[in-house]
């Protein structure tokens, strides 16, 4: 059965664009263009996830998020042009699962939809217990990492960063995203802290830390998890 996603935005072009990408990925898409309409649809159709704009007529997205979160645990991704830290934290405090700032990449939004559904247990396929890439093996239940069969002794933060990257291979994460996910939304340290931890992680898992094949830098953006070739 297809997963139902309710897309809520007063901009019809945005709804049409998001619908196009979601339907190509196999989702059933419902659409609403104001908060009241979205609330009625959410209650009637019980979608598996909402992509919800904050600035909506009749009932704004934050109030809608608050109402729906009190009624059920439907995952919510906020989609908005308001991208200050206070706006983001407010949305997350109200129960949103993720936050995407406009203008956005439809492919990135699609990756976040998949990730949120996976975390919520709504994916049709169960999450694997481990990930294998070349000589690197990560066992998630045991939080254990092995390279060529040897245990890699990672710090909790190094493990968390690796877990985030390896669960969504080839997705590019900004430093801020990694900082928030690995250290918490209330962490007040510098984004460069991520660079230090990933440098140490590379020393422990890469065949050649100077030429990383797993934890790859995307210059000017952040990091992604790549894959070693069969010869590595």
pLDDT at 153: 94
Of 80, 81, 39, the closest CA to residue 63 belongs to 39
Q: Which CATH number fits domain 4-119: 3.40.50.700, 3.40.50.2000, 3.40.47.10, 3.40.50.2300?
A: 3.40.50.2300
> What pTM did the predictor assign?
0.53
- Per-residue CA distances from 120 to 23, 154, 207, 216 (Å): 20, 27, 34, 28
CATH 3.40.50.2300 domain range(s) in the chain: 4-119
* Alpha helical stretches, state H, the chain: 12-24, 35-45, 61-71, 85-93, 106-119, 156-167, 175-183, 192-205
> According to the 3-state scheme, what is the secondary structure of 18-37?
HHHHHHHCCCEEEEECCHHH
Query: What is the residue-level pLDDT of the chain in tens, covering all 232 positions?
Result: 678 999 999 999 999 999 999 998 889 999 999 999 999 999 988 999 999 998 899 998 888 988 888 788 889 998 877 655 565 666 667 778 888 888 888 888 998 899 888 887 744 455 678 999 989 999 998 999 999 999 999 999 999 999 999 988 888 888 888 887 787 644 556 778 899 999 999 999 999 999 999 999 999 889 999 865 444 3
What is the distance between the alpha carbons of residues 115 and 165, in angstroms, rounded to a whole number? 12
pLDDT at 168: 85
pLDDT at 230: 40
The architecture CATH gives domain 130-225: Orthogonal Bundle (1.10)
Q: Note whether 95 and 65 are within 8 A (CB).
A: yes
CATH 1.10.10.10 domain range(s) in the chain: 130-225
DSSP secondary-structure letter at 15? H
């Amino acid at each position: 059965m297809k997963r139902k996603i309710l897309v809520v935005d007063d901009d019809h072009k945005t709804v049409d664009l998001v619908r196009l990408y979601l339907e190509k990925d196999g989702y059933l898409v419902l659409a609403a263009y104001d908060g009241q309409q979205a609330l009625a649809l959410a209650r009637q159709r019980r979608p598996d996830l909402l992509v919800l704009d904050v600035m909506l007529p009749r009932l704004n997205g934050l109030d809608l998020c608050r109402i729906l979160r009190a009624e059920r645990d439907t995952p919510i991704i906020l989609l908005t042009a308001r991208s200050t830290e206070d706006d983001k934290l407010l949305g997350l405090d109200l129960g949103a699962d993720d936050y995407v700032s406009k203008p956005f990449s439809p492919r990135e939004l699609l990756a976040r939809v998949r990730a949120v559904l996976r975390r919520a247990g709504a994916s049709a396929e169960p999450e694997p217990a481990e990930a294998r890439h070349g000589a690197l093996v990560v066992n998630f239940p045991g939080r254990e990492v092995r390279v060529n069969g040897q245990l890699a002794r990672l710090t909790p933060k190094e493990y968390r960063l690796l877990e985030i990257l390896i669960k969504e291979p080839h997705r590019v994460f900004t430093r801020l995203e990694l900082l928030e996910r690995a250290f918490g939304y209330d962490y007040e340290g510098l984004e460069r802290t991520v660079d230090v931890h990933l440098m140490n992680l590379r020393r422990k898992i890469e065949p050649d830390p100077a030429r990383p094949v797993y934890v790859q830098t995307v210059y000017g953006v952040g990091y992604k998890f790549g894959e070693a070739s069969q010869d590595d």
